[in-house]
Amino acid sequence: MAVQNSFTKTLVWILMGMLILGLGGFGITNLGGNVQSVGNVDGKAISVNDYYNAVQRELDAFQAQTGQRITFAQAQQIGLAQQVLSTLVSQRALDVEAERLGLSMGDENLRDQIVTIPAFQGLDGSFDREAYRFALQNSGLNESAFENSLREDAARTLLQTAVIGGIEMPSTYGKTLTEFLAETRSFSYATITESNLDAGVPAPNDVDLQAYYDANTDNFMQPATRDITYAWVAPSMILDTVDVDEDSLKALYEERSAEFNQPERRLVERLVYGTEADAAAALTEITAGNSSFEAEVEARGLALTDVDMGDVTKSALSAAGDAVFAAGSGDVVGPLPTDLGPALFRVNAILEAQSTSYEDAKPALRDELATDRARRVIDAQINTVDDLLAGGATLEEVADETDLVLEAINFHAGSTEAIAGYSDFRAAAQAVQDSDFPEVDTLDDGGIFALRLDGTSEAAPIPFAEARDAVEAAWRAEQVQVALEAKAEALIAEMKSGKDIITLGLNVAQEQDTTRQDFLPDVPPALLQTVFEMAEGDVSAVEGVGSYLIVELDAVAAADLSSGENTSIQNLVNRQASQALTQDILEAYATYVRAGAEIEIDQSALAAVHSQLQ
């Protein structure tokens, strides 16, 4: 069955992706030439290369999304490898189903796809069989296997398209959601705080506080702790004992003179043209107000980021330097000569020359050199401390004989002591056991420490005498809220009897045409939710922290679906809903097909691939 033309672009990109990944891929030879697949579905193999490359793509995608590169071991912990394998199994199950249904790509369509791929073309742009053979050889494929994989990809795509063809979420879905999202409320509200109470909250007695403490003991707990003795030293602790000579400071200043003494610079953008006449014509249009620098950049198919040079010195601009530096901020000048051809330059900012004298830079330079030397001093003590501990010395004895300082901490997750700010110490404090002997460990700033677990304590209530101030503050806050609630209810009763919110003697704020998604600063998060649950003319109270809000709903406005913004929202909702529905149907179909397939996974082959991914 021939594949329709709608698949052309898709297949081209599939092919290009396979080639690129194949060239840098796993390679069967990495496993001694014996392992060809990690499993099969009804006899259709899941190749080692396909699995390896799919895992690498997921690792790259994770890094692109989070900005963090994770190891394969971490990927296994979050289930990434299992997800990749599951996806490949589903794909092969669909390949089996497509074959059962007789779906395939015709020879002519296959040929048309292959000869248009740039990677297989010679210098004249025509198909080059040697380039084709060489690319496949480098990717560990032969022509037959490669072409068969293309046929399978096309058949699978055709099958998936047939499954989801014509599926579209009803327009009513998007319309209903848009009406919900875009309807608005206009309302007035006044905030009451303790200052609005008719009478202050009376002072509590010990009986009141004890009763409150007994009823809320869970709010006055001291955490479980690990009682640790430790000896440590950090570079900042011995800076005053480190000598830094004047010659070293001056040498460092000279070494970094470019940092302390920067010439005048310009923030510029450069747009290069093919000819000087083209550049001059563009400048004429900009000067006449018929165009702009941004429009000229866009007309060339570029973005501003493509023409941004950042901050540059006059010498860096060569022959264009004088003219650019003579221009003012916002000016466009040119055409000016560059290595790439005639260009227009736009000056975005003028950065004046900056000069920091040696005397001004000296304190920072001294701290830098002293810190570096302090690290070396500490590093030189590691072996000494290690030998002392290995010889049976206690932390107390180590502190007596070295620069290390002896301290103790009742460590818990919320500890704020200086040592608790180091992730290395926190990890060691959480892992140390009663039977462990102290060992030297390093801190990320070049410091060192050794610790000992003296004992642990379970979470327990803070004694009332120690917690009394906190108990009183909590009791008082509760009493204020109770009084504010009563005040709010009284004011709402007045409004329901006909009194206007403006006449309550409070500062009244108004919000017009507010949607559910709007952000209102300095109000309780529950305010908007309450407003959208009210009927027009209703009055309600919303609790805040140390406050209550009295809210009156002035107007309810239905969504205007004819507005451009709401039309865009409705189209977006429909598109996303249709895509989600399509994906759900594809996954359900793949699950159904997979359930009827015979699946075999080669665990030893997986382990071999995983060892290469470590």
Same domain, 314 and 366: no
For residues 117 and 197, state if they share a domain: no
Domain-located, residue 177: no
Q: Is residue 179 part of a domain?
A: no
How many angstroms separate the CA atoms of 555 and 220, rounded? 45
Determine, yes or no, domain membership for 259. no
Assess contact for 517 and 539: CB atoms under 8 A: no
DSSP code string of 325-386: HHSPTT-EEEEE--TTSSEEEEEEEEE--EE--HHHHHHHHHHHHHHHHHHHHHHHHHHHHH
Q: Report the pLDDT value the prediction gives residue 34, as an integer from 0 to 100.
A: 63
Whether 540 is covered by a domain: the verdict is: yes
Predicted local distance difference test score (pLDDT) of residue 8: 38
Q: Model pTM? A: 0.54
Please check whether residue 587 lies inside any domain of the structure: no
Provide DSSP, 577-598.
HHHHHHHHHHHHHHHHHHHTS-
pLDDT value of position 246 = 82
Q: Which of 328, 352, 376 is the C-terminal boundary of a domain?
A: 352
Do 323 and 446 belong to one domain? no
- From 557, 580, 601, give the residue that closes a domain: 557
Which CATH number do you get for residue 496? 3.10.50
Domain termination residue (choose one: 318, 352, 386): 352
Q: Residue 51 and residue 311: Cα distance in Å, rounded?
A: 45
The answer to whether residues 602 and 476 belong to one domain is no
* Total tally of structural domains belonging to the chain: 4
Which CATH number belongs to the domain containing residue 141 in this structure? Answer: 1.10.4030.10
What's 497's DSSP letter? Answer: T
Positions in the chain whose pLDDT score sits under 50 = 1-32
Structure tokens at 579: 């895509």
CATH number at residue 268: 3.10.50.40
Residue 205 in 3-state DSSP?
Answer: coil
Quote the CA–CA distance of 96 and 91 in Å, as a whole number: 9
Closest CA to 434 of 227, 223, 225: 227
Residue 385 sits in the same domain as residue 338: no
Domain assignment of residue 282, given as a range: 264-352
Q: What is the mean pLDDT of the chain?
A: 87
Rounded Cα gap, residues 144 and 147, in angstroms: 5
Q: Report pLDDT for 388.
A: 94
Q: Are residues 210 and 229 in the same domain?
A: no
Q: Are 137 and 14 within one domain?
A: yes
User: What is the number of H-type helices and E-type strands within the chain?
Assistant: 22, 19
37 part of a folded domain:
yes
Asked if 203 and 276 sit in the same domain, the reply is no
DSSP sequence for 87-116: HHHHHHHHHHHHHHTT----HHHHHHHHHT
Is 206 part of any domain?
Answer: yes
Residues 209 and 156 grouped into a single domain: no
Same domain, 270 and 379: no
User: Are both 153 and 27 inside the same structural domain?
Assistant: yes
In a domain? residue 584: no
**pLDDT score recorded for residue 258:** 78
Q: For residue range 113-135, what is the model confidence (pLDDT) as tens digits?
A: 888 888 888 877 888 888 888 88
**Are both 323 and 471 inside the same structural domain?**
no
pLDDT at 33: 52
